Amino acid sequence: MLITQLKAKETIVSLAAGKKVFIINCQGCKEVHFPEAEVKELEKELADSGNVTGTITTDYICNPENMKLRLEKHKSEIEAADAVLVFSCGVGVQTVAGYLEDKKVYAACDTYPLPGFQGVTPLEYNCDQCGECYLNLTGGICPITACSKSLVNGQCGGSKNGKCEVDSEMECGWERIYRRLAQVGRLDALKCPTQVRNFATDDEVSK
């Protein structure tokens, strides 16, 4: 299971500011530690602003097959939105971003580790539960797991023909991130100040 914690309210509000948003709310792991009450309150505030085009509240959005069907049912509401705001662990956000390649997809939560079963997580959408989710800066592709060195500040410079210098069978994660940001018109995200990873969050869960 994964533990999720809501990002700071100001962060979430700024992600949605001036945009029409579609909200996806995953309660698959709510029995562990999903901030259900806080999410409901925030969702209500966003809905009251009149900028929410629709909402899905469901479980296990990390299951790609089920998620595809659910997204298709809400196609017009998603098309009407400028961005999709996802309340889930990092796997759920990556699953949604994988389907909505032309849409800005934002993570509203940070994900912490808890040993054991992790929902119905498919391996291609990996989350290392780093406790400080970077998906909003990387177009919904996890830099911790998509880059062999878990770099959070951009490409190492060693890739050749789009492949990772550590594993030539693997696509360079940062080239994927660059392409994705270009596709959704968010290359400006790469100009933000250096992100220093807080490794202390890795251990915070069991306290």
**Which residues of the chain form contacts with ligand SF4 (CB under 6 A)?**
90, 110-111, 127-130, 133-135, 142, 144-145, 147-149, 151, 155-156, 158-159, 164-166, 172-174
Query: Are the beta carbons of 87 and 23 closer than 8 angstroms?
Result: yes
Closer by beta carbon to ligand SF4, 2 or else 71: 2
Q: How many angstroms separate the CA atoms of 96 and 61, rounded? A: 8
Q: Which of 104, 115, 109 is nearest to 91 (CA)?
A: 109
CB closer to ligand SF4, 16 vs 108: 108
Q: Of 139 and 173, which CB lies nearer to ligand SF4 in the complex structure?
A: 173
Q: How far is the CB of 170 from ligand SF4 (least distance, A)?
A: 7
Smaller CB separation from ligand SF4, 96 or 142: 142
CB of residue 29 vs ligand SF4: minimum separation in angstroms?
13
Closest CA to 201 of 149, 121, 145, 128: 128
Quote the CA–CA distance of 9 and 15 in Å, as a whole number.
Answer: 10
- Nearest residue by C-beta to ligand SF4? 90
Tell me which amino acid residue 15 is. L
User: Shortest approach of ligand SF4 to residue 57 CB, angstroms?
Assistant: 21
Residue placing its CB nearer to ligand SF4 in the complex, 22 or 106: 106
CB of 76 to ligand SF4, least distance (A): 28
What sign does the dihedral 130-123-125-147 (CA atoms) show? positive
* Helix, strand, coil percent content, the chain, rounded in steps of 5: 40, 15, 45
Smallest distance, ligand SF4 to C-beta of residue 172, A:
3
Residues 6+ apart with CB under 8 A from 164: 147, 148, 158, 170, 171, 172, 173
